[in-house]
């Protein structure tokens, strides 16, 4: 059911900065919440401060990881951690922290949890023929939430939401019409 209801309080969507350099360097200085295990070399041993530098986290964070089960090679200073143990620990941690969005949900960065948008209303902005952003307001903190979705999954993800389509020529229906999937093809 297409709708003409508006979300008047939604701020304009800002696309992520293109690789101009500035945005990336700013991002690199911020401590990383989700360290990338692919930076770890399996056959190396690391000191605590080396891990902090490698993964862009605070040394205190690495000590917390050790308290939470990241194994030391032995208990002699300087404390060393094997690359394999570190990689395994990070992979497990990432899997445990994963909070996938269900249908009609958008991840709120502030609440750090998937939320149904306020009023079950959202906007959809198509960026390409295949993908676009579903935008809604978090019902808890009122922050704008964004979810990149493929058009192939539009009907599935938007079921139960009132979605305002932002481009006239890309008008879609939020109903689970089978032709929607046929038309857009698979992801
Ligand atoms: Zn929130």
Domain count, the chain: 2
Domain membership flag for residue 25? no
The CA 111 to ligand 1 mean position distance, Å, reads 4
Q: Domain of 115? A: 106-184
**Contact assessment for residue 42 and residue 83, using Cβ atoms and an 8 Å cutoff:** yes
Q: What pLDDT tens digit does each residue of the chain (187 aa) get?
A: 444 444 445 555 555 554 444 444 444 456 767 788 999 999 999 999 999 999 999 999 999 999 999 999 998 899 999 999 999 999 999 888 888 899 999 999 999 899 999 999 999 998 888 899 999 999 999 999 999 999 899 999 999 999 999 874 444 444 433 333 334 444 3
Domain membership flag for residue 141? yes
The CA 13 to ligand 1 mean position distance, Å, reads 17
Q: Which of the 8 DSSP states describes residue 3?
A: -
Q: Does the predicted model carry a pTM greater than 0.75?
A: no
The CA 138 to ligand 1 mean position distance, Å, reads 5
Domain membership flag for residue 46? yes
* Residues 72, 131 share a domain: no
The CA 42 to ligand 1 mean position distance, Å, reads 37
Specify the residue for token string 């023929």.
Answer: 129
First-last CA distance in the chain: 23
* Residues 173, 128 share a domain: yes
Specify the residue for token string 């996938």.
Answer: 100
């Amino acid at each position: 059911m297409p709708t003409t209801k508006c979300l008047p309080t939604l701020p304009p969507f800002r696309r992520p900065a293109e690789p101009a350099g500035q945005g990336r360097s700013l991002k690199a200085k911020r401590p990383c919440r989700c360290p990338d295990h692919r930076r770890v070399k399996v056959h190396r041993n690391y000191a605590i401060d080396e891990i902090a530098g490698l993964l862009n986290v605070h040394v205190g964070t690495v000590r917390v990881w050790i308290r939470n089960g990241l194994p030391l090679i032995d208990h002699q200073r300087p404390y060393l951690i094997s690359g394999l143990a570190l990689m395994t620990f990070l992979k497990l941690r990432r899997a445990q922290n994963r909070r996938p969005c269900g249908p009609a949900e958008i991840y709120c960065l502030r609440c750090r949890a998937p939320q149904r948008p306020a009023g079950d209303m959202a906007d959809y902005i198509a960026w390409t023929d295949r993908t676009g952003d579903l935008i809604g307001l978090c019902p808890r903190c009122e922050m704008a939430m964004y979810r990149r979705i493929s058009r192939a999954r539009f009907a599935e993800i938007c079921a139960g939401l009132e979605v305002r389509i932002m481009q006239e020529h890309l008008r879609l229906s939020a109903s689970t019409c089978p032709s929607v999937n046929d038309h857009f093809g698979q992801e």
